[in-house]
Amino acid sequence: MIVVGSTLGSLLGFYIGKRKGYLLARELYGKEKVDKMKSILDSYGKWFVALSAISPLPYIPLIFGSLNMEGRKFIYYGLIPRILGIIAVWLLLLANINILV
């Protein structure tokens, strides 16, 4: 259930960022800064997404969507590592419980 909730939350944040976030980011930071951030994301985005997938930072998918990241890259480098990370933590906890019993 945790995997489903985390995945749906990430997809929803990414979708909202994709639909409305770019205009908001441009309004808040200006076109030049947003274009610079987008350029950095195009170059190193998959690494940022992979790191954020295993971190507990909440609004990161919204940012990636607002910077117009490709959905396929977000799934490959964001959702799959997040799902694997949650499963790994669950397995470690399960193994520790079995050791204690």
Q: Which pTM does this prediction carry?
A: 0.62
- How many folded domains does the chain comprise? 1
pLDDT of 97 higher than 80: no
69: left (phi over 0), alpha (psi -120 to 50) or beta: beta
Residue 84: give the domain boundaries: 2-100
**Main-chain dihedrals φ then ψ at residue 16, nearest 5 degrees:** -65, -45
Answer for the pair 52, 79: CB distance below 8 angstroms, yes or no.
no
pLDDT digits (tens, 9 = 90+) for 9-54: 878 888 888 888 878 778 878 889 888 888 887 887 778 777 777 7
